[in-house]
Structure 1
Amino acid sequence: MTRFLLIFCVFICLAPLCHAQLPLLKKGYADSVTQVLQKETNDSIKAKLNFILLYCNLDDSAKADHHLMEGRRYGQKYPLMLAQSYAHEGYLYFNKDISRSEVAYLKVDSILQKDTSKNGYLVRSNAWQNYAVLQQVKDDDATFVDIVLNKAIPLAKLSGDSVLLGSEYTNVALAFTNTEQYDKAEEYFNDAIAILKSASKEHSRLLIAYYRAGENKINLGKYEEAKIILDTMAVLLAPYPETELYAGYYLVEGLYHHKMKQYDSALISYDKGITSAAGVNGKYRIDELELLKTETLIEQKSFAKAKELLSRLSKDESLMETNLNRLKIYGGLAASNAGLNNFQQAHIWLKKHSELNDSLHQTRLKKDINALEVRYKNAESQKEIMALKAKNEQAALSSKNAWLLTTLLATACIFLLVVIIFALLYYRSQKKLAARKLQEIEQQKQLDVAKAMLDGEESERRRLARDLHDGLGGMLAGVKMNLSGTANTTQDEKLFQIIHQLDNSVSELRRIARNMMPESLLNFGLETALKDMCELNFAPGLAIRFQSLGVQPDLPEKTQIIIYRIAQELLANAIKHSGANEIMLQCSQNENIFYLAIEDNGKGFDPKAAGGKGLGWDNIRNRIEFLKGKIEVDSVPGEGTTINIELNVSE
Structure 2
Amino acid sequence: MRAAVFVFILLLSFFGRSQTGRETRIDSLENALKMAEHDTTRVLVLSELARSYGGVDSLKCFKNGFKAIALSEKINYLRGMADANINLAGGYLDYFDVENAKKYFEVGNRLADKLVAKDSSPANMKIWLRGYYNLGVAYGYEGDVAKEIEYAAKTIPIAQQMGDKLFVANGNTNLAIKYNGLSLLDKSYEMFKISQKQFQEIGTPEDLLYHSLSFAICLSAMDSLAQMKTLLDIAKKNLDKIPNSYYRGSYYAELGNYYGRSGQYDKALEALNTSYEFYQGKKSHPHLKLLYQRYAKTYDKIGDFEKAKAYTLKYINFTDSEHSPSDKVGSYFMLAKYEAELDNYKEAYHYLRDFVIAVDSIRVRQLGNDMQQLEIQYKTATKEKEILALKNEKNEAALALERKRSQTFMLGAVASILSLLLFIGFYAYNQKLRRARKQEEQREAEVSLLKQEQQNKIFSAMIEGQEKERKRLAIDLHDGLGGRLSGISLNLSKLNKDEPKEYPKAQLQKVTKDLNDALTELRSIARNMMPETLVKFGLQAALKDYCSSMTGNGTKVTLQFYGTEKGISLNQQVTMYRVIQELINNAVKHAKATEVLVQYMRDGNRVDITVEDNGIGLNKTDFEEKEGGMGISNLRTRVAYLKGDLEFHSEENEGTTVNVQITVDAA
**Structure 2 length-normalised TM:** 0.49
Judged with a 3 Å threshold, the aligned counterparts in structure 2 of structure 1 residues 338 and 180 are, in CA distance, closer, same or farther, namely farther
User: 1:293 — aligned with what?
Assistant: 295
Change (3 A) 1:368 1:140: farther
Aligned 8 A contact 1:51 1:71 in 2:
yes
Q: 1:117 touches 1:159 (CA, 8 Å); kept in 2?
A: no
Establish whether residue 203 from structure 1 lines up as the match of residue 205 from structure 2. Answer: yes
Match of 1:41 in 2: 37
Answer yes or no: is the 8 Å Cα contact 2:86–2:109 preserved in 1: no
Q: Contact 1:287 / 1:319 at 8 angstroms: preserved in 2?
A: no
Provide the rounded CA distance (Å) in 2 between the counterparts of 1:280 and 1:303: 27
Whether the 8 Å CA contact 2:206–2:239 is kept in 1: the answer is no
Pairwise CA RMSD of aligned residues? Answer: 3.8
Among 358, 381, 388, the alignment partner of 2:433 is 381
Say whether the 8 Å CA contact 2:66–2:88 is kept in structure 1: no
| Aligned counterpart, 1:128 | 132
The letter for the 2-side match of 1:187 is E
Give how far 1:193 is off. Answer: 1.2
- Aligned counterpart, 1:51: 47
Deviations 1:107-150 (A, max 9, x none): 2221112413333333333233333333333334343334333x
Q: Aligned AA for 2:67?
A: E
| Maintained 8 Å contact 1:270/1:290 | no
Amino acid corresponding to residue 119 of structure 1 in structure 2: A
Distance 1:45 1:20 in 2: 27
Distance 1:35 1:382 in 2: 48
Q: Which residue of the partner structure matches residue 263 of structure 2?
A: 261
Q: Give, in angstroms, the shift of residue 317 of structure 1.
A: 4.8
CA distance in 1, matches of 2:124, 2:280: 30
Tell me the residue number matched to 1:64.
Answer: 61
Q: Which amino acid aligns with 2:129?
A: S
- Please state how far the C-alpha of 1:355 moved relative to its aligned partner: 4.5
Q: Hey, what does 1:180 align to over in structure 2?
A: 183
For the structure 1 residues 203 and 335, does the alpha-carbon distance in structure 2 shift closer, same or farther, using more than 3 Å as the test?
A: farther
Q: 1:30: how far off?
A: 5.0
Question: What amino acid maps onto 2:270 in structure 1?
Answer: I
**2:99 partner letter:** S
Cross-structure match for 2:470: none
Change (3 A) 1:110 1:207: same
Indicate the SS of the match to 2:237. Answer: helix
Identity %: 18
Q: Distance in 2 between matches of 1:312 and 1:369?
A: 42
Q: Which residue of 2 aligns with 1:244?
A: 246
Tell me, in whole angstroms, the C-alpha distance in 2 between the residues paired with 1:57 and 1:140.
23
Q: Match of 1:156? A: 159
What code does the residue aligned with 1:65 have?
F
Cα deviation code 1:384-440 (max 9, x no counterpart):
779999xxxxxxxxxxxxxxxxxxxxxxxxxxxxxxxxxxxxxxxxxxxxxxxxxxx
- The range that moved more, 94-103 or 357-366, is 357-366
Task: Indicate the residue corresponding to 1:234 in structure 2.
Answer: 236
Structure 1 position 187, deviation (Å): 0.3
CA displacement at 1:179 relative to structure 2? 2.0
- 1:352-371 aligned at under 5 Å gives the runs 352-353=354-355, 355-358=357-360
Question: In the aligned structure 1, how far is the partner of 2:345 from the partner of 2:145?
Answer: 35
Q: 1:165 to 1:385 in 2, by over 3 A?
A: closer
Q: Distance in 1 between matches of 2:332 and 2:242?
A: 38
Q: Distance in 2 between matches of 1:236 and 1:265?
A: 21
| Residue type of the alignment partner of 2:91 | L
SS in structure 1 at match of 2:152: helix
Deviations 1:52-71 (A, max 9, x none): 44334865544332211222
For residues 113 and 261 of structure 2, what CA distance do their matches in structure 1 show? 48
Q: How many Å separate the matches in 1 of 2:137 and 2:347?
A: 36
Corresponding letter in the other structure for 1:306: A
By how many angstroms is 1:318 displaced?
2.2
8 Å CA contact retained: 2:249, 2:279: yes
Asked whether the equivalents of residues 284 and 319 of structure 2 are also in contact (C-alpha less than 8 Å), the reply is no
Any residues of structure 2 matched to 1:570-589 within 5 Å, and which?
none
Equivalenced residues, count: 371
Residue 18 (structure 2) aligned to one of 4, 13, 22 = 22
Q: What residue is the counterpart of 1:88 in the other structure?
A: 87
Query: Aligned equivalents of 2:15 and 2:300: distance in 1?
Result: 40
Question: What CA distance in whole angstroms lies between the structure 1 residues aligned with 2:134 and 2:97?
Answer: 14
Give, in angstroms, the shift of residue 246 of structure 1. Answer: 1.9
Q: Which amino acid aligns with 2:145?
A: D
Match of 1:212 in 2: 214
- Counterpart amino acid of residue 108 in structure 1: G
Q: Provide closer, same or farther for how the CA distance between residues 186 and 26 of structure 1 changes in structure 2, counting only shifts above 3 A.
A: same
**Do the aligned partners of 2:129 and 2:155 also contact (CA within 8 Å) in 1?**
yes
User: With structure 1 as the length reference, what TM-score do the two structures score?
Assistant: 0.50
- The answer (yes or no) to whether the contact 1:119–1:159 under 8 Å persists in 2 is no
Change in CA separation of 1:70 and 1:381 when aligned onto 2, cut-off 3 Å? closer
CA contact (8 A) 1:166 1:196 kept: yes
* Alpha carbons 2:16, 2:210 under 8 Å: kept: no
Deviation at 1:204, TM superposition (A): 2.6
For 2:227, give the aligned amino acid.
E
Amino acid at match of 1:341: D
Counterpart-to-counterpart distance in 1, 2:184 and 2:281: 29
CA contact (8 A) 1:132 1:147 kept: yes
| 8 Å CA contact retained: 2:173, 2:192 | yes
Mapped contact 2:185–2:218 kept (Cα < 8 A):
yes
SS in 2 for 1:242: coil
Indicate if the aligned counterparts of 2:209 and 2:234 stay in contact, CA closer than 8 A: no
Q: 1:42, 1:252 → 2: CA distance?
A: 47
The amino acid that maps onto 1:175 is K
Within 5 Å, which residues of 2 pair with 1:213-612?
Answer: 213-276=215-278, 283-353=285-355, 355-358=357-360, 372-381=424-433
Query: Quick check: 1:214–1:230 contact (8 Å CA) kept in 2?
Result: yes
Aligned to 1:467: none
Determine the C-alpha separation between the residues in 2 that align with 1:192 and 1:204: 14
1:118 and 1:160 in contact (8 A); partners too: no
Report the CA distance shift for 1:71/1:141 in structure 2 as closer, same or farther (over 3 A): same
Assess, with a 3 A threshold, how the Cα gap between structure 1 residues 156 and 33 changes in structure 2: closer, same or farther: closer
In 2, Cα distance between equivalents of 1:82 and 1:226: 43
1:245 touches 1:276 (CA, 8 Å); kept in 2?
A: no
Does 1:145 pair with 2:149? yes
Aligned to 2:99: 99
> Which residue type is aligned with residue 61 of structure 2?
A
User: Structure 2: how far apart are the matches of 1:278 and 1:155?
Assistant: 42
Q: Secondary structure at the match of 1:23?
A: coil
**1:120–1:246 CA distance, 2 compared to 1 (3 A):** same
* Greater Cα offset, 271-280 or 180-189: 271-280
Using a 3 Å threshold, how does the CA distance of structure 1 residues 352 and 108 change in structure 2: closer, same or farther?
farther
How far off its partner does 1:279 sit?
12
Deviations 1:140-168 (A, max 9, x none): 4343334333x342443354311111111
Larger radius of gyration: 2
Q: Cα–Cα, structure 1 residues 384 and 221, in superposed 2: closer, same or farther, change >3 Å?
A: closer
Deviations 1:284-343 (A, max 9, x none): 333223322222222222222222222233233524244454444334333333332333
- Quickly say closer, same or farther: Cα 1:308–1:237, change in 2 above 3 A: same
Aligned equivalents of 1:236, 1:373: Cα separation in 2: 50
Query: 5+ residue gaps in structure 2?
Result: 1-13, 363-408, 442-667
Matches within 5 A, 1:635-646: none
| Contact 1:338 1:346 (8 Å CA) reproduced | yes
Structure 1 unaligned spans of 5+ = 1-17, 390-651
Equivalent position of 1:544 in the other structure: none
Structure 1 pair 252–167 and aligned structure 2 pair: CA distance change class (3 A) = same
Q: Alpha carbons of 1:355 and 1:238: their partners in 2 closer, same or farther (altered >3 Å)?
A: same
